[in-house]
Amino acid sequence: MPYGFDFAIPFTLHHEGGYTPGLPDDPGGETRWGISHRSYPTLDLKTLTREAAIAIYRRDFWDALHLDLLPLPLAVALFDGAVNQGPGAARGFIRDLQGLLGMAPDGIIGPATAAACEGKDLARLLRRLCVIRAIRYTGAGNFATYDQVWLDRLLSCFDYCEGIPR
């Protein structure tokens, strides 16, 4: 069974898809595998391979956020939120998780955050993180354009994470 990043990436790539020249009201502009021109202006997205996108996601999202320290359902939900809603939003989600855990939120996953997850009701934490993601979506200026797509993705992410063996 895949573990960690290897479990998260298929779900996210499925929802990000291949090449898109840019969609209306999407500030990311041109994307391939969800990697945007806005975030990576020097990449030639038309030729970006799936493997190169996976390497970017591992380095700049999974590893940069230290998601391997968290229980897998929470890590996958945070990873997908970071990809879909941006790394800045991900730091906010981490602060929210830390608040749910009764910690002083700093937006950084470390040993204290990992330890605070031990013995907690992961299903409840996952539900609450998904609600927080949904609320953040509603605050986006382009929510009316993408509401169904984003909320469907979020519910799919919740289902995917709920099915992760613990």
Inform me whether the pLDDT recorded for 158 exceeds 80.
yes
The pTM score is: 0.93
Mean residue pLDDT across the chain:
92
Domain boundaries, position 148? 5-162
**Sorting pLDDT into bands at 50, 70 and 90, what band is 17?**
confident
CATH number of residue 67's parent domain: 1.20.141.10
Q: How many domains does the chain have?
A: 1
Query: Is pLDDT above 60 for 2?
Result: no
Q: How confident is the model at residue 1 (pLDDT cuts 50, 70, 90)?
A: very low
Q: Which residue has the tokens 């391979």?
A: 49
**pLDDT (tens digit per residue) in 37-89:** 989 999 999 999 999 999 999 999 999 999 999 999 999 999 999 999 888 88
What is the spatial distance between Cα 131 and Cα 5, in angstroms, rounded to a whole number? 23
3-class DSSP assignment, residue 32 = strand
SS (H, E, C) 76-135: HHHHHHHHHHCHHHHHHHHHHHHHHCCCCCCCCCCHHHHHHHCCCCHHHHHHHHHHHHHH
H or E element: which one contains 138? Answer: helix 122-138
